[in-house]
């Protein structure tokens, strides 16, 4: 188990959250496979180790972790929600062909919140940004298919 996982578990325990083996596995999966899985993908990955785990268990745990601000739920239209372990603010590049979602960091966009607040009078507390295109693998595939 990585130190980040251990630290996160200690933080949750300090808040009085019970860490069941399933809850720990879900948290560990989210932290160590930073690929923005859906609840279903988490279930698929962990089901063989936990015969009594259901998709509902995964959802309940994700809901709790979301409430505790440990994970973010990313919703994209009609597609299944993806879950992201909350690190620092980051943005997503999404492949229009295979759905791969990659994090990137770009400082300075906090200014947009300030600008938006003064332009609209809103009290802004978050923002998100996605850019869309083709990932390197899909670009290569497209190139060889020609």
Enumerate residues 117-146 that contact Zn ion by CB under 5 A.
Answer: 135, 138
- DSSP secondary structure, 13-59, as one string: HHTT----HHHHHHHHHHHHS-S--BHHHHHHHHTTT-TT--HHHHH
d(CA 107, CA 78): 30
- What is the closest distance, in whole angstroms, from the C-beta atom of residue 19 to Zn ion in the complex? 24
Which of 64, 86, 95, 124 touches Zn ion by CB under 5 A?
95
- Report if residue 86 touches Zn ion, rule: CB under 5 A: no
Which of 102, 103, 113, 124 touches Zn ion by CB under 5 A?
103
Binding residue count for Zn ion, defined by CB under 5 A: 8
Kindly state the tokens that stand for 58.
């995964």
- What is the closest distance, in whole angstroms, from the C-beta atom of residue 134 to Zn ion in the complex? 6
Q: For 80, which DSSP code?
A: P
Give contact residues for Zn ion (rule: CB under 5 A). 84, 95, 97-98, 100, 103, 135, 138
């Amino acid at each position: 188990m990585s130190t980040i996982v251990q630290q996160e578990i200690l933080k949750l325990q300090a808040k009085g959250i019970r860490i069941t083996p399933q809850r720990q596995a879900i948290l560990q999966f989210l932290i160590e496979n930073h690929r923005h899985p859906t609840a279903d993908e988490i279930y698929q990955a962990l089901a063989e180790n936990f015969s009594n785990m259901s998709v509902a268990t995964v959802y309940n745990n994700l809901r709790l972790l979301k409430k505790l601000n440990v994970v973010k739920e990313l919703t994209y239209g009609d597609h299944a929600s993806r879950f992201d372990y909350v690190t620092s603010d980051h943005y997503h590049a999404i492949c229009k062909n295979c759905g791969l979602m990659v994090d990137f960091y770009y400082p300075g966009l906090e200014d947009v919140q300030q600008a938006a607040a003064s332009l609209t009078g809103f009290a802004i507390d978050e923002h998100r940004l996605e850019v869309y295109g083709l990932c390197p693998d899909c670009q290569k595939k497209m190139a060889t298919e020609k």
